[in-house]
Amino acid sequence: MATIRELRSRIKSIQSTKKITKAQELIATSRITKAQGRVAAARPYAKEITRVVTTLANASTSLDSPLLVERETRRRAAVLVVTSDSGQCGGYNSNVLKETEELLSLLRSEGKEPVVYVMGRKGFGYYTFRDRPVAANWSGFSQQPKFSDSAEAVRHLVDSFLAGSGERVPLPGAHGEQADIEGVDELHVVYTRFVSMLTQKPVVRRMAPIDVEFEVEQLKMGDDILEDDANAVVGPEVEFEPEAKELLDALLPKYVASRIFAALLESSASEHAARRTAMKAATDNATELEKTLSRQANAARQAQITQEISEIVGGVEALAN
């Protein structure tokens, strides 16, 4: 059995750890609301630019934009993995990395060469520790991302996709040096979607080529004239200046940028929620362990006192005899 001094030393250590985990829990709790607000604030822009891109795609007679057209041969696929810069967030990083591994296996089974890009120090450390190549990485903004933080990554990924496999494009390499990197034919992103305070789900999205939902005007034809139909869906007639194709080419990179930034915001909110849950569990465990060790220390102290009293009584009786 541990001595009283050892038990008290362990209790003091646990109390120090408990202060850290409690502080981390409070910090994460205070940031979740702001992160949720940023996610909600970004949704109207994402919804509107999606609507505009869909309208332009429907208006354009020939969809020959590289971001919209499926390529006949798809040899390389870029995979952007969004992780955190710091730990203490439970299974947040392991879940998204597990989802990434499944995607990489799927791409290899389809005969495509996956090219990994990473956001966050934890993801970069995961691949470098296993000596696996990373085309480029960005970090330092996982908890409070800004649109400017994702701009370099978006430019890198879009330029690489527009170049296509078999072509070389001058872009910053994995460690910031300038290098000629071969292009890709697909662009995927793996991030964590914020569902609730207790649920965060890792998801995979294909950013390019973009899947556009075409709107079809539905009219009920009568004998001589067009008749009204309550279920008809008729879009407004829109005139574009400049041409729809020119606008579409300009908006598609912005659309990809908004999707990637939305993924960063979702991941940020998920990271704070996961850290709060993990730190709360750690604090509760520390409290229970502190109580258990305190009972053991009290029992040991009481046994020591009882033994000392017995020795004193025995000594008194010996002197009396």
Whether the bond between 242 and the residue before it is cis, its omega within 30 degrees of 0, is yes
DSSP 311: H
Closest by Cα among 7, 6, 16, 26 to 279 = 26
- How many Å apart are CA 233 and CA 56, to the nearest integer? 17
- Alpha helix (H) residue ranges in 4-120: 4-59, 92-109
Half-sphere exposure of 232 (CA within 13 A, CB side): 13
Q: Is residue 89 annotated as part of the catalytic site, yes or no?
A: yes
Provide CB contacts within 8 A for 91, sequence distance 6+.
Answer: 274
Supply the angle between the helices 244-320 and 92-109 in degrees, to the nearest 10: 140
Specify the amino acid at residue 101.
E
Q: Given 67, 78, 82, 89, which residue is catalytic?
A: 89
Alpha-carbon torsion angle 308, 310, 314, 317, nearest 10: 110
- How many Å apart are CA 273 and CA 193, to the nearest integer? 11
Phi, psi (rounded to 5 degrees) for 221: -90, 130
- Catalytic annotation, residues: 89
